[in-house]
Amino acid sequence: MGASPSPRKNPFMAQGLLPGTTLRLDVSSGGEGETHVTRVDDVDGRIAILVPMRGLRPRPFSAGTLVHAHYMHQRKRWMFVTEVEGHSDDGLFEYLRLPGAIESTERRRNFRLPAAIRPESLYRLVVDSETDEPDLLEGTVVDLSEGGCCISTRSFAAPGERLGLQAILPEAGEIQARMRVTFVRDPQPGNRNRRLHCEFTDISRAHRDVIARYMMRRQLEMRRRGQL
């Protein structure tokens, strides 16, 4: 008989995903966001974690639940997107699928995901002092990251101009942010819209987490469709 296959090794040792690592899990369950802290028990073909606790009771999640996990390693914050695969027979451990990749937050915030989101409100922050009425813009968010977005619009804005944004991200929640226009791409031939590339300058941690949950869902959907 041939030798038994060797166990799969941990492919993420260089990123610090090791037994004993403390993970913070952002989970969307029942339409609401939850945050839990747990510990990695093993990484070998899948990630085994201690079942999170809520109060004094275990809080297991059903198979297929989307998970946005992050942790600290070498003074950097790392994050990955995955889903719950199952549980141990004794109920002590929860198994997560190995992610496609683990990235530092510096890179993740610069990763922009294609989108098509109509803001609830998009406006200039500097208004006419005589009227104090917001100068509303019409546009669509065509890509999004935790650090900024790109807006397709017929309105004009100059680099350095400050804008305000309020939008609802499907299955994730509402965000509000202030941002600075960093670059303007003029309309291409046959297109009346210009692109405003914007960087968030004032956004709460809670709203940044809403963006992260939205990106988590969208990336998993796109991977299942073979688009990533």
As a whole number, mean pLDDT of residues 152-165 equals 93
Domain end: 71, 105, 139, which one?
Answer: 105
Report the range of poorest mean pLDDT among 31-45, 118-132, 135-149.
Answer: 118-132
What pLDDT, on a 0 to 100 scale, did the predictor assign at position 9? 78
- Percent share of the chain, pLDDT over 90: 44
| 63 inside domain | yes
Q: How far apart are CA 28 and CA 5, in angstroms?
A: 37
What pLDDT, on a 0 to 100 scale, did the predictor assign at position 21? 96
Tokens 């046959």 sit on residue: 190
- Does residue 122 share a domain with residue 214? yes
| 210 inside domain | yes
* 19: confidence class by pLDDT, cuts 50, 70, 90: very high
* Helix (H) / strand (E) containing 8: none
Tokens 């960087």 sit on residue: 199
Domain end: 105, 135, 167, which one?
Answer: 105
The CATH number for 140's domain is 2.40.10.220
Question: Domain range holding 140?
Answer: 113-224
Span 31-62, pLDDT tens digits = 556 788 999 999 988 999 999 988 788 889 98
Using CA atoms, how far residue 35 sits from 15, 32, 151, in Å, is: 22, 10, 30
- Percent share of the chain, pLDDT over 70: 86
Residue 106: pLDDT above 70?
no
Residue 131: pLDDT above 60?
no
Q: How many domains does the chain have?
A: 2
- Does residue 213 share a domain with residue 143? yes
Domain end: 87, 105, 123, which one?
Answer: 105
| 92 inside domain | yes
Q: Which two tokens stand for residue 49?
A: 């974690």
- Does residue 121 share a domain with residue 72? no
What pLDDT, on a 0 to 100 scale, did the predictor assign at position 79? 84
What pLDDT, on a 0 to 100 scale, did the predictor assign at position 2? 47
Contact at 8 Å (CB) between 108 and 101? no
* 75: confidence class by pLDDT, cuts 50, 70, 90: confident
Q: Which two tokens stand for residue 188?
A: 């291409």
What pLDDT, on a 0 to 100 scale, did the predictor assign at position 109? 59
As a whole number, mean pLDDT of residues 16-26 equals 93
